[in-house]
Amino acid sequence: MFDIGFTELMIIAIVGLVVIGPERLPKVARTVGHMLGRLQRYVGDVKSDIQREMHLEDLKKLQKEMTDSARDLESGLRGQAAAVQADLDSTAKSVNSAVAGETTPKAIDMTAADAEAALKDAERAIAQTVADDIAAGHTPPPRDDNQMALGLDNAAPADAPKESKA
């Protein structure tokens, strides 16, 4: 703290002994020691207060930076959301206009008889495919040892549950 050597301390002690006297010198030395201790504590407190304020200032700067970056992020996200919303609105309008303009007369003009005839044609095609498979001797694929045996190979098909009108 102070650049005082041993010889300088000895000179101060001798001058203090001569000026103060041998009776009061221990009491004065004790008082000076207490004052130096208080001075050191005061300097330490001031130093820690300054460091705390500097740290608090750094935290305030960091908080301001975070707030600014959060605002930037929020504005960017709002801009992107607005762009997506505009894109969705334009797509919805184009789909609505396409759906409104595309009413097919074929689907509307189909009568019940035409629908029944189309259904019967589909049933005939399915029945023909099944008959062709049976006539060709279509067999199920070979069994693999890794398959789990369920024991349903020779089982008769189950009857469909009958609907009850409640």
pLDDT in tens, 73-104: 999 999 999 999 998 888 888 888 877 766 55
pLDDT in tens, the chain (166 residues): 567 788 988 898 888 888 888 888 889 889 989 999 999 999 999 999 999 999 999 999 999 999 999 999 999 999 999 999 998 888 888 888 877 766 555 555 567 778 888 889 999 998 888 788 777 776 666 777 776 666 655 555 556 566 665 5
Give which of 134, 140, 136 is closest to 153, Cα–Cα.
140
Residue 25 near residue 16, CB atoms below 8 Å: yes
Three-state SS annotation for the chain: CCCCCHHHHHHHHHHHHHHHCCCCHHHHHHHHHHHHHHHHHHHHHHHHHHHHHHHHHHHHHHHHHHHHHHHHHHHHHHHHHHHHHHHHHHHHHHHHHHHHHCCCHHHHHCCHHHHHHHHHHHHHHHHHHHHHHHHCCCCCCCCCCCCCCCCCCCCCCCCCCCCCCC
CA 16, CA 26: separation in Å to the nearest integer? 10
Q: pTM for the complete prediction?
A: 0.36
What's the full length of the chain, in residues?
A: 166
